[in-house]
Structure 1
Amino acid sequence: MNIRLANTSDTNRIFEIYEYARAYMKAHGNPHQWGDDRPEKSLIKDDIKNQRCYVMEDEGHIFACFVFTIGFEKEYEAKFSSKVEYGVIHRVASEGSKRGIVERIVDFAKGKVNLIRIDTHEDNKTMQKAIERQNFKKLGIIYLEDKSARILYELKEGL
């Protein structure tokens, strides 16, 4: 299993993975977080271009993707400001063929920063359980630019 930066040749496969993730979320009680068209293709392409989209692959087969950045998130800082930069995990998606995706992503992030934040929709019970299994602590509710609510989590390592 390998995690690497996505490149433009991965774009169609990443689109497929997000399609699968949207269908999974709808089937498991979370139809609103990504709806029918989120994340938008233009955002995915921008994530790849700006080298913040990563893919997870096994023997050349891409089975998951996510966004990882280091810095500050405007929406997080509004209620839960931090004095230090942190890693942010966004847009985690999988085709469903492998388990332990969030654990692998968190291990990847821990190799880069000591403070990690992630948010998810209140209806995304699958992600909430995965995040909590990794010992993230719930900080509270934040609001995105479109005014939708998300649960913000944080993991501190060695701070």
Structure 2
Amino acid sequence: MKEKLFLTITFAALTIVSVFSQSRALTFQEAEKQGIPFHKLDSLYKSAVHTDPALAVFKSPDQQAELLQAYVKLLQDLGAFLRANNFKWNTEARGANRIYMQPDGRIDYFLFHFPEGQLTPEKEQQFTQLLDSFIRNYRFAITAPEKFAQCSAVRYTDN
């Protein structure tokens, strides 16, 4: 009985570690279904920028400018990756994302949302798979002293 309980606890612990230790690309809704809603992640990752600099990871204007450059580079690199993998939007797609990163720039979670009707389910699935592949090896261009999150509205096009 003790062995079975130990195995169950060990399996549960390994499952939790694997869920929280690999890069994941998910819609906000899918993250919620999997028990990792953004508000839970927000409690684990500090905001990259904040109206109150004491609550931000990147406090100074110089640090924030560097963050913005790195964030734009990430989106440009993602666009290049999508093009290299023959992904076409075929229209402008507007959405939002929230990206959760390790201090060394590794991406833990890339949550995104497109309003209903922006993408077909097939196009969203293709985007999710490519995004998941992209973030597995991507390193954000700057590092930080602690885990952080960055969010924004986004506009994707084929141009």
TM-score by length of 1: 0.29
Larger relative contact order (Cα-Cα within 8 Å, sequence gap ≥ 6): 2
- Structure whose residues are more often helix by fraction: 2
Bigger Cα Rg: 2
TM-score, reference length from structure 2: 0.29
